[in-house]
Amino acid sequence: MQVATGENSFMWFGPSPRLNIADPQLMKEIMTRHDLFHKPLPDPIGHTVAGGLLFLEDEKWAKHRKIINPAFHMEKLKNMVPAIRLSCSNMVDKWEALFSSSDKSREIDVWPSFENLSGDVISRAAFGSSHEEGRRIFELQKEQVKLVLELMQFFFIPGWR
């Protein structure tokens, strides 16, 4: 059920109303008024899969943000460029190996390569190892997300449908 009021509207998400704000000025006010507007509490499964900084507020958010902020300083990001370049170069080399000299045009699915690229960049930049060395951890994370998504299909919350 959705009730529209011009640009802004609300709808029921199970037993909870959700606001849809389209006005940039209202968005700005909501984003700057931490004392009035709070993030929705995550369900336990959502917190397990996508926890961390995403669901924190107030002092906890500020503390964690202060801890991770130095990692995203411009000089540190510049130092990560060689690791990012190496990961990208390896990906392109793998793509080139798929093509023989007589096979100049071919369609390939690049999505798995980009999944591996992000894992490889994170592994090299943060831990100094390649994605291949940390493959088991990334596989376990993928499996965890897959299982959570399967589990969510069986949830029944009264009023949801």
Identify whether the C-beta of residue 104 lies closer than 8 Å to the C-beta of residue 117: no
Identify whether the C-beta of residue 43 lies closer than 8 Å to the C-beta of residue 51: no
Torsion of CA 82, 83, 87, 93, to 10 degrees: 40
Q: What is the pLDDT of residues 86-116, one digit of tens each?
A: 889 989 988 888 876 666 677 888 888 888 8
Name the least confident of 62-66, 67-71, 100-104, 123-127. Answer: 100-104
Mean residue pLDDT of the chain comes to: 76
At residue 15, what are phi and psi to the nearest 5 degrees? Answer: -85, 5
pLDDT value at position 3?
47
Identify whether the C-beta of residue 159 lies closer than 8 Å to the C-beta of residue 1: no
Q: Which residue has the higher pLDDT, 150 or 39?
A: 150
Q: Which residues contact 44 (CB under 8 A, 6 or more apart)?
A: none
**What average pLDDT does the segment 55-67 reach?**
80
CA distance linking residue 135 with residue 128, whole number of Å: 14
Q: How many helices (H) and strands (E) does the chain have?
A: 7, 3
How many C-alpha atoms does 120 have within 13 Å on its Cβ side? 19
Answer yes or no: is pLDDT of 74 > 80. Answer: yes
pLDDT value at position 1?
44
Q: What residue has token string 């009021």? A: 5
**What average pLDDT does the segment 66-93 reach?**
86
Q: Give the closest residue to 125 by CA, choosing from 93, 99, 88.
A: 88
pLDDT value at position 2?
46
CA distances from 137 to 36, 99, 134 (A): 39, 30, 6
**What average pLDDT does the segment 26-50 reach?**
71
Q: Is 131 exposed, middle or buried (0-12, 13-18, 19+ CB in 10 A)?
A: buried
**What average pLDDT does the segment 109-126 reach?**
82
pLDDT value at position 89?
92
pLDDT value at position 4?
46
